[in-house]
Structure 1
Amino acid sequence: MEKIGVVGAGIVGLAVARELATVRGAEVTVLEKEGRVGAHQTGHNSGVVHAGIYYPPGSLKARLCREGVALLKEYCAAHGLAYDEVGKLVVASTRAERAGLAALAERARANGVPGIAELDALGLREIEPHAVGVAAVHSPYTAICDFPAVARRLAQDVAELGGSVRLAHPVRAIRERAGKVEVLAGKRKLAFDRLVVCGGLGTDAVARMAGAPGDVRIVPFRGEYYSLSGAARDLVRGLIYPVPDPRYPFLGVHLTRRIDGGVLVGPNAVLAMAYEGYRWRNFRNFGQIISWPGTLRMARTHWRTGIKETYGSLVKNSFVKGARRYVPELTAADLERAPGGVRAQAVARDGRLVDDFVVDIHGNVVLVRNAPSPAATSSLAIARHIAGIVPALVR
């Protein structure tokens, strides 16, 4: 029986493991350094199931997001997992944003996003009575779900298919020899026919072990949130987003209803100095992050945005102002600090923020180099895509 290892027990890694065990009948082992599944990006995101509005038609993101939505909805229904189509409004708050909004609607339709409607100021208030703007695009089937619960269910699937998820097994070394991939994980030495790396924030470290540092590097961005308290939660029915700036893969401060009934405000996007830099004072990986030429080139290009995002991190009123742009009734007292997350964003040597999903093959190792949002939404489709790549590997 073919033996395949998967590094990373986030939602993407677990989906890949399940797919390979299902379609290949492989004996799959998932290696995870933490003591639980979904400990990082999977467990720190907003829970939005993206419909595919933003992504360039024909891109891997656009295709896998649309496929992933359908697969995820079906999976949640089959396993009794929460999935709620609360809908999303992308709001133009000024006339200057109308052109960008119209282009977004056109892109959404090109991607096959169902039910897209362009609304005027009155129409958007019919969807979100407390929101304001000059126009909006409505995506009625954009949903929310519990991604950590999905990850736990995927881990259970892997076990039921004869695989294993080994927690607290950090990968320490990788070597290809005699057609096998040997992996030292924790205190165990394991041998696989294939290895798939879905390492998220730890991608670069594992890639170096595999002898494939690559042409892009992960640069971590901390996303910080506030949550609405008390009656203020009732001011938001679904999801309220700004018109995105096409220069950046980050969407800006928005309001997101969660599957537990809470409402998040955020996130911003602050360059972190550690791959798991959930707090300001963590500089653990400063040298590695800054030494990548793309980091400084990116900073030189986008320093104004960096200052703005850092200011928003330090000054609560910046978040309040961003939220009030769309829901004016909100006050500073309505916002409470909430846990944030760290996004694993690939940056090229020239400083370009890599927007699309990126998957590389190196010998018998498949490396997921870039899988930011909407990776959770797309996870089951990404798994199918990777399962189609694995047979092409050289033995």
Structure 2
Amino acid sequence: MTTSVTHQDLPYFDIADPSFSMSSEQVRDARERSWLAKTNYGYAVLRYAEVSELLKSPKLSQGSAKWPDHHGVHSGIFYEWWSKNLLVLEGDEHHRIRRLLNPAFSPSAAARLTPEFIAVAEELVDEFVDRGECEFVADFAEPFATRALCIMLGLPHEHWPFIARHANTIGYALSITVKEDIERIDAAVKELYDFVEELIQERIANPGKDVISRLVQFSESGDKLSPEELRNAIVLMLFGGMDTTRNQLGLAIQTFIRNPEEWEKLAADPSLATAALEEALRVNPTTRWVTREVVEDFEYQGHQFTAGTTVHLFTYTSGNDPEAYPDAGIDITATDRKPHFTFGGGIHHCLGHYIARADMSAALPVLASRLKNLDCPGGDEWLPDSGNTGPVKLPITFEKRK
């Protein structure tokens, strides 16, 4: 494999082009030629070793703050929320808010919720298992992801359609069509603001043991979240907690349709659930890249990076890099896998990854124990294969396990 090319000869991607695909031959060929590519938004890092190293670099900060500006969105309700939420904050402000939020997303908190996640998965499968077919996003991934979020936040399940609808709309903000959709995105953020404010007032009056009650308590303590920080954090949970899990479940099913022998391994041994999820996250992540911004000029492997430059660390190509994963495809019984970067890395590692792993690890073995011979007969629709991706519609057929 070629280790470097000159700056002038770097591959180039227009990642704003709706036809751009992370899984294309163009991208695979580029990774063969070089660890680095140029894009219309800066650079893309393609290989595992460099992604791993640069994710930890203090010369790079979280880079998603400029996403709206890149697409001509410079004001509005979404813009103000995006510029102040944990995803894009840096320095002491980021560390303080993250430290206050961390206990709500601990491994022990995730483990306590697992029986409830399993119960929801079983209930949803019961509704379609006898049909031999379903529309996986509408019938399982979306209601499961949103109801799991309701469990985590201590919300009645009746709220899930409202949360899902508004999270779906805000999800368009991560698309290259954000400017075209900004009016409805702004409206969705405003409605979630109002919903969250009602929740906060309810928990102030009647605190419980749920995440929102705990965060309200933090907002009333000495080292506290401000009212704006509390609201912004909960809106981010409602959006990110549903959108990412829904998309990733659809991508996991796509992965196992392509690898039916691995699906059968999981059906035979539910203890492989964690490994099955990690393999799906590695080879087919919803987060196709992690965005960073250069905070000070530096040189790396012969290339000069200047302050203010956007750098996309490609999680998809790093997770499928043959230098890091020599055996093609997935193997849920493998024991020597390098860690993937679907949930980011460094100080901006995804806050909710324990919860996300817990609910998806609960869902997959339920599905495998009930459904076999998965197939997609067509009619599936997908978000662009860049940024954050996943199925919009995913009709599947299957046989019911006896």
Give the TM-score of the pair, scaled to structure 1: 0.23
Which has more helix, going by share of residues? Answer: 2
